[in-house]
């Protein structure tokens, strides 16, 4: 007699509650940790205003409610105000994710008028030297001005600082700066190693000791400011033994639309091979979300293999990040190698290990690649 394995019937996924529109890959900055695809200069033309407005209507009708507007630099789109106005009328909560470049008082007033709910300002460091070095441009003063404008227009002040080896020792100064600017939320987000950051991982990954000091500094700061300022510290998962529950599972709540209209279950997913991601120029959001093979490919658990299949923790982390599995093991259906049950976990340990030797990559003379528009 053979045992029957009862597979639970696949549940119909909920709606894409979180919609991210990457309005453009254009950006005046050249961050070395940019998560945009490294071949973005070869990607097709941007959607026009009418397409974006249709995407908003279709997604809202399905139940999407949190809206991120990012890029590149979303302010590079002159129709940003119209997009925000439409989103607001539809009942979205609108989040603008910006480097602040191009955010004049005139545009901010217009965005407020259009109903923009929230602005997340990215900051590379508290010192001008590092900030300008990492974004490869002189933007520090500009960002300080923009922070003041955000306050003036009575927005909650949300700072996002991408953390890595070259600025992690400044965490205390960064938090002090955030406090001076009146920040209510601060995200200290360790770099996610995709796109340009993946190319630069050897230079950007902090050591365990740096990480520990930064976490201590954050804890002391939290104790001092209490609930006045909320601080999120996102650790680089290369130091973990269990992966992050990436996107709550692909195709569960998150839908990203790239500048060229490609619909993605995670903004980094364009890199995954063998998936024909649908384009909003050809299909409506409902059929993309519920019916397209690309969105169903890594939904639920059917795609899992050992060690994830049958693992008691699979409902917690969904096997981790497909992009990380692909980048490190060459196959997106493997367990995220951050997991120490993965036979490829040694690859992650090896990367984390190199970060222990001080200034290893710099010492080897490996240059930091700044995001640029050259064809790769």
Residues near ligand SF4 (CB under 6 A) are: 27, 29-31, 34, 36, 71-73, 99, 242-243, 307-308, 311, 313-314, 317, 319-320, 335-336, 339, 341, 371
DSSP 169-234: GGHHHHHHHHHHTT-SEEEEEEPP-SHHHHHTHHHHPPPHHHHHHHHHHHHHHHHHHGGGSEEEEE
Round to whole Å and give the CA distance between 250 and 263. 12
User: Rounded to the nearest whole angstrom, what is the least distance from the CB of residue 137 to ligand SF4 in the complex?
Assistant: 9
Considering beta carbons, is residue 189 or 217 the nearer one to ligand SF4? 189
> CB under 5 to 8 A by kind: which of ligand SF4, other proteins, none does 336 bind?
ligand SF4
Tell me which residue of 153, 75, 160, 152 sits closest to 125, measured CA to CA: 160
The vertex-229 CA angle with 223 and 241, nearest 5°, equals 70
Compute the distance between CA of residue 11 and CA of residue 252 in angstroms, rounded to an integer: 11
Binding of other proteins by 74 (CB under 8 A): no
Decide if residue 49 touches other proteins (CB under 8 A): no
Beta carbon nearer to ligand SF4, 67 or 75: 75
- DSSP for 5-51 reads P-PPPPPPP----EEEEE--S--S---TT--S-TTGGGS-PPP-HHH
Q: Which of 43, 65, 234, 333 binds other proteins (CB under 8 A)?
A: 65
118 scored as a contact of other proteins (CB under 8 A): yes
| CA pair distance 167, 174, nearest whole angstrom | 9
233 binds other proteins (CB under 8 A): no
Residue 303 binds other proteins, judged by CB under 8 A? no
Least distance in angstroms from the C-beta of 156 to other proteins: 4
Handedness of CA 53, 55, 56, 61 (dihedral sign): positive
Q: Which listed option, other proteins, ligand SF4, none, makes contact with residue 192 (CB within 5 to 8 Å by class)?
A: none
* Site membership for other proteins, residue 90 (CB under 8 A): no
Q: Which does 185 bind (CB under 5 to 8 A by kind): other proteins, ligand SF4, none?
A: other proteins
Given other proteins, ligand SF4, none, residue 335, with its beta carbon under 5 to 8 Å by kind, binds ligand SF4
Instruction: Tell me if 230 contacts other proteins by CB under 8 A.
Output: yes
Among the listed residues 36, 38, 70, 95, the single contact to other proteins using CB under 8 A? 95
Smallest gap from Cβ 124 to ligand SF4, in A, equals: 8
- Spatial separation of the C-alpha atoms in residues 219 and 224, rounded to whole Å: 9
Considering only 140, 155, 221, 344, the residue that binds other proteins (CB under 8 A) is: 155
Cβ distance 328 to 347 under 8 Å? yes
Q: What, of other proteins, ligand SF4, none, does residue 244 touch, CB below 5 to 8 Å by kind? A: none
Cβ neighbours around 118 below 10 Å, total: 16
CA distance 316 to 251: 15
Please choose which of ligand SF4, other proteins, none residue 339 contacts, taking the beta carbon within 5 to 8 angstroms, the exact cut-off set by kind.
Answer: ligand SF4
Residue written as token pair 């409610």: 65
The residue from 25, 33, 68, 294 that contacts other proteins (CB under 8 A) is 68
Nearest to 215 by CA among 198, 197, 239: 239
Nearest-10 crossing angle of helices 345-354, 322-329:
80
Is 11 a residue that touches other proteins (CB under 8 A)? Answer: no
Q: Which residues contact 11 (CB under 8 A, 6 or more apart)?
A: 300
With CB under 5 to 8 Å by kind, the binding choice for 243 among other proteins, ligand SF4, none is: ligand SF4
| C-beta neighbour count of 10 within 10 angstroms | 11
The verdict on 113 binding other proteins (CB under 8 A) reads no
Distances (CA, A) of 229 to 156, 179, 215, 222, 246: 11, 8, 16, 8, 26
120 binds other proteins (CB under 8 A): yes
Residues that bind other proteins (CB under 8 A): 15, 17, 62-63, 65-66, 68, 91, 93, 95, 117-118, 120, 154-156, 158, 184-185, 227, 230
């Amino acid at each position: 007699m053979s045992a029957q394995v009862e597979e639970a019937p696949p549940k119909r996924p909920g709606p894409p509650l979180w919609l991210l529109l990457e309005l453009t890959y254009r950006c005046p900055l050249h961050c070395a940790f940019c998560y945009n695809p490294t071949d973005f200069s070869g990607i097709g033309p941007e959607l026009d205003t009418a397409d974006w407005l249709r995407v908003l209507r279709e997604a809202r009708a399905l139940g999407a409610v949190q809206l991120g507007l990012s890029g590149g630099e979303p302010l590079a789109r002159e129709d940003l105000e119209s997009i925000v106005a439409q989103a607001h009328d539809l009942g979205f909560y609108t989040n603008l994710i910006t480097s602040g470049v191009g955010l004049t008082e005139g545009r901010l007033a217009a965005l407020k008028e259009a109903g923009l709910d929230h602005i997340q300002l990215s900051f590379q460091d508290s010192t001008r030297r590092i900030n300008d070095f990492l974004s490869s441009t002189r933007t520090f003063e500009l960002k300080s001005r923009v922070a003041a404008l955000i306050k003036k227009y009575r927005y909650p002040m949300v700072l996002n600082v991408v953390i890595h080896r070259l600025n992690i020792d400044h965490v205390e100064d960064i938090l002090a700066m955030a406090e001076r600017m009146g920040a209510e939320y601060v995200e200290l987000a360790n770099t996610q190693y995709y796109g340009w950051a993946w190319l630069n991982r050897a230079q950007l990954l902090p050591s365990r000791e740096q990480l520990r000091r930064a976490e201590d500094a954050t804890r002391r700061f939290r104790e001092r400011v209490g609930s006045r300022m909320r601080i999120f510290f996102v650790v680089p998962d290369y130091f973990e033994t269990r992966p992050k529950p990436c996107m709550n599972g692909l195709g569960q709540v998150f839908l990203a639309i790239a500048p060229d209209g490609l619909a993605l279950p995670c903004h980094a997913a364009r890199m995954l091979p063998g998936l024909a991601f649908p384009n909003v120029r050809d299909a409506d959001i409902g059929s993309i979300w519920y019916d397209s093979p690309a969105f169903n490919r890594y939904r639920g658990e059917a795609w899992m293999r050992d060690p994830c299949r049958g693992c008691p923790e699979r409902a917690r982390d969904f096997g981790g990040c497909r992009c990380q599995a692909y980048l490190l093991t060459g196959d997106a259906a493997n367990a995220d190698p951050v997991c120490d049950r993965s036979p490829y976990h040694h690859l992650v340990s090896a990367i984390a290990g190199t970060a222990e030797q001080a200034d290893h990559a710099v010492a080897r003379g490996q240059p930091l690649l700044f995001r640029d528009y050259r064809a790769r």
